[in-house]
Structure 1
Amino acid sequence: MTSPARNLPRLLGDAKRWFDDALLASMRAAGEQPVTVGQAAVFAALDEEGTTVSELARRTGVTRQTAHQAVHGLIGMGLLEQAPDPASARSRLIRPTAEGARVHRRAQDTLVVIEGVLAERIGAAAVDALREALTLPLGEPPLVEAP
């Protein structure tokens, strides 16, 4: 009996985990403070000028409470800081500290190397095609009837 083909969301999730595992292990091996996948996702979702916790939660697809926990863990590590939001007296912006910016640049550079490893394994053309396909506009999510 053959097993059914894995659906695209599962394949994309598996690929994301491969990148996350490689990045986090590489950063730990380089002597950086260990962070969780959720904390790394917060960094990836930050705007340069700062981002509210609510917006970070929306961008990362988690609850505000979960985003808040990740942010405060990173603040405790000295990688993020809070600043007043000039657009709202009730909000605070989350932004990287100088150390957080350094670690984020190192992570970005590490991802370039990891992408290079992927290109060696599956071919540069496949990586380029994947990047191209994933940057095409998808439009609004469809509402379809279940079969």
Structure 2
Amino acid sequence: MHSTRRNLPQLLGDARRWFDEGLLTALEAAGAAPVSPTQVQLFAVLDDQGSTVAELARHMGVTRQTAHQAVHGLVAAGLLAQAPHPASARQRLIRRTREGERAHRQASTILERLEEQLAERIGREQVDALRTTLEAPWGRPPGPGDLSQK
């Protein structure tokens, strides 16, 4: 018989979408420039000192082309800027602009409110336990030999 039980990656994806939808809705209501979920994810992984497109793509788990498109949309919106990389003439560092820093702070505040709303819905203990579990070191993903049935 086929199980209808959803696996953890599906559940984690739903949880991420819940936060993304809440964030995007709140940003839109506040009059912020429209951004895509991919652009939100890029903003979340962007290092404060700047990141290359390749680093962003790796942290987001997307192709360089997808990260590049997201960067260009955010540059056009005035939220990001490109600067020469000090260690490589071929690479550019992607950094938040002053407006991008403001938007990042605004998004952080909204995410804190969403977390509080989640705690009201499912309980503070559950949210704290979820955070503790997700912050625990998981180690590297198992290799193919580690997944064989014993």
TM-score (norm 2): 0.94
| SS of equivalent to 1:33 | coil
**Structure 1 residues 1-147: aligned runs within 5 Å:** 4-143=4-143, 144-145=147-148
Name segments (4+ residues, structure 1) moved above 3 Å.
none
Letter in 1 for 2:25: A
| SS of equivalent to 1:11 | helix
Q: Structure 1, residues 24-82: CA drift from partner, whole Å, max 9, x if none?
A: 00100011111000001110011111000000000000000010000000000000000
Residue 146 to residue 93, structure 1, CA distance change in 2 (3 Å): farther
Letter in 2 for 1:74: L
Find the aligned partners of 1:146 and 1:17 in 2 and give their Cα distance.
33
Find the aligned partners of 1:110 and 1:118 in 2 and give their Cα distance.
12
Find the aligned partners of 2:136 and 2:42 in 1 and give their Cα distance.
24
Find the aligned partners of 2:111 and 2:123 in 1 and give their Cα distance.
17
RMSD of the TM alignment (CA)? 1.5
Q: Which runs of 5+ in 2 are unaligned?
A: none
Find the aligned partners of 2:128 and 2:119 in 1 and give their Cα distance.
9
| SS of equivalent to 1:50 | coil
Find the aligned partners of 2:86 and 2:142 in 1 and give their Cα distance.
37
Letter in 1 for 2:113: V
Identity of aligned residues (%): 60
Letter in 1 for 2:148: E
Q: Which runs of 5+ in 1 are unaligned?
A: none
Find the aligned partners of 2:39 and 2:101 in 1 and give their Cα distance.
14
Find the aligned partners of 1:88 and 1:138 in 2 and give their Cα distance.
33
Find the aligned partners of 2:45 and 2:4 in 1 and give their Cα distance.
34
